[in-house]
C-alpha cells in the first residue's frame, strides 16, 4: 500500500512565521504568553506548551502586567495594543502580513464609509479571531455575514463596501457579491457596492490543489484540529471528491478497516496542520 503526503498541505507562511517567533522567544526566556491558541491544532499547541508557551484569554490579558505576549497570525483589534501599553506588556506581533494589509484596507474603507454614508460588510465567520481584529478597525460597526441568509442584516438603503476574511471560500464570496449586486439593482436607487476580494490566494488555491490530490488516491486521511474552520472546509472539499475521506486529529484515531482493498492512501491537512503530524500519520498507516 502506497502512502503519499500532499506537498501543498500544511502551515501557510503566516502560521510558520508565528510559530518561529514563538520558538525564538521561548529559546531565550522559557516563558511566553499567547493570546488564544497560536494555531488551531491541539497537537502543535501541546508541543509548544511543553516548551513554555502559555495560552491566555483576552480577559486574562487585561489583568496581565510586565510580561511578553505573542499576537498570533490572526491579528488583533486596536484595543489589544492599547491594553499592552497600559499594562507594560511587550508584544511580539506575529500577525500575518496579509491580515495586517486587510486591517489597513478596512480602516481606510471605514473612513470612506463614514464620508459617503455607506456601510462596511465583512464576509467571514462571526467570532473568529481574525474577524474580531477586522471588526475592531471599524469601532465594531461592521456587519458580519457568513452566508446568503445573513444578507438580511444589511441595510439596502445604504451603499456597501465589502471585504472578506482571508480564509473564506472564493466561490462563496462571488456568490455574495452577485446577490448583493442583484439586490441593489432591484432597489433602483443610486447606491454602489465596492467589492474587495481580500481572500488569501495561498489559502484559496488549496481548494483546487487538494481536489486533485483527493481524486488521485483510494483513501484520503485528512489531518486537522477540530476547531480549524479552514480544516473543516478543506475536508468537505476532499469528501465531495472522494467518499473514502476520513477526518482525524491524531494517529490514535486511525481505523485499520478504512484501508481494506486500498492500494493508495493520501495524507493531507489544513493550513494549521503541522507537517510533522502528517508524517507521523503516514508512518503509522504504512505499518497497518
Residue-wise pLDDT for 49-64, tens only, equals 999 999 999 999 999 9
According to the 3-state scheme, what is the secondary structure of 114-138? Answer: HHHCCEEEEECCCCCHHHHHHHHHH
pTM of the entire predicted model? 0.87
130 an active-site residue?
yes
Angle at 131 between CA 84 and CA 200, to 5 degrees: 110
- Cα torsion 180, 185, 188, 189: sign: positive
Q: Are 285 and 22 contacting, i.e. CB atoms less than 8 angstroms apart?
A: no
Average pLDDT, the chain: 94
Q: What is the pLDDT of residue 202?
A: 84
Q: Are 237 and 211 contacting, i.e. CB atoms less than 8 angstroms apart?
A: yes
Q: What is the pLDDT of residue 280?
A: 97
Q: What is the pLDDT of residue 228?
A: 86
Q: What domains can be seen in the chain, in order of their start residue?
A: 2-9+203-286 (3.40.1010.20), 13-97 (3.40.50.11270), 99-200 (3.40.1010.20)
Q: What is the pLDDT of residue 53?
A: 97
Residue-wise pLDDT for 154-202, tens only, equals 999 899 999 999 989 888 999 999 999 998 887 777 889 999 999 998 8
Q: Are 224 and 247 contacting, i.e. CB atoms less than 8 angstroms apart?
A: yes
* Separation between Cα atoms, residue 104 and residue 270, nearest integer Å: 26
Above 90 in pLDDT, residue 227? no
Q: What is the pLDDT of residue 149?
A: 94
Q: How is residue 253 written as a grid cell? A: 484515531
What is the distance between the terminal CA atoms of the chain, rounded to a whole angstrom? Answer: 9
Q: What is the pLDDT of residue 185?
A: 82
Catalytic entry in 25, 44, 76, 130: 130
Find residue 32's DSSP bridge partners. 53
Mean pLDDT in residue range 209-232: 94
Centre a 10 Å sphere on the Cβ of residue 62 and count the other Cβ atoms it contains. Answer: 13
Instruction: Tell me which H or E stretch contains 195.
Output: strand 193-195
Helix (H/G/I), strand (E/B), else coil: 257 = helix
Helix (H/G/I), strand (E/B), else coil: 55 = strand
* Separation between Cα atoms, residue 239 and residue 221, nearest integer Å: 10
Amino acid at each position: 500500500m502506497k502512502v503519499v503526503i500532499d506537498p501543498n498541505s500544511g502551515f501557510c507562511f503566516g502560521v510558520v512565521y508565528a510559530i518561529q517567533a514563538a520558538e525564538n522567544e521561548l529559546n531565550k526566556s522559557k516563558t511566553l504568553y499567547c493570546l488564544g491558541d497560536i494555531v488551531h491544532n491541539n497537537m502543535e499547541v501541546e508541543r509548544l506548551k511543553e516548551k513554555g508557551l502559555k495560552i491566555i484569554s483576552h480577559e486574562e490579558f487585561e489583568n496581565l502586567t510586565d510580561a511578553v505576549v505573542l499576537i498570533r497570525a490572526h491579528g488583533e483589534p486596536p484595543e489589544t495594543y492599547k491594553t499592552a501599553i497600559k499594562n507594560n506588556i511587550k508584544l511580539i506581533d506575529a500577525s500575518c502580513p496579509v491580515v495586517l494589509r486587510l486591517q489597513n484596507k478596512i480602516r481606510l474603507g471605514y473612513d470612506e464609509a463614514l464620508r459617503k454614508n455607506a456601510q462596511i460588510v465583512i464576509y467571514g465567520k462571526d467570532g473568529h479571531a481574525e474577524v474580531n481584529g477586522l471588526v475592531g478597525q471599524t469601532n465594531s460597526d461592521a456587519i458580519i455575514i457568513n452566508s446568503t441568509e445573513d444578507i438580511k442584516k444589511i441595510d439596502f438603503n445604504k451603499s456597501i463596501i465589502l471585504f472578506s476574511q482571508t480564509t473564506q471560500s472564493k466561490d462563496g464570496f462571488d456568490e455574495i457579491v452577485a446577490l448583493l449586486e442583484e439586490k441593489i439593482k432591484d432597489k433602483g436607487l443610486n447606491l454602489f457596492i465596492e467589492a474587495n476580494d481580500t481572500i488569501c490566494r495561498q489559502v484559496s488555491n488549496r481548494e483546487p490543489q487538494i481536489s486533485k490530490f483527493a481524486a488521485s488516491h483510494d483513501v484520503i486521511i485528512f489531518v486537522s484540529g477540530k476547531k480549524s474552520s479552514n480544516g473543516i472546509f478543506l475536508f468537505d472539499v476532499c469528501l465531495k471528491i472522494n467518499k473514502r475521506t476520513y477526518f482525524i486529529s491524531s494517529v490514535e484515531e486511525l481505523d485499520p478497516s478504512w484501508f481494506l482493498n486500498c492500494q493508495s492512501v493520501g495524507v493531507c491537512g489544513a493550513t494549521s496542520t503541522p507537517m510533522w503530524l502528517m508524517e507521523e500519520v503516514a508512518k503509522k498507516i504504512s505499518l497497518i
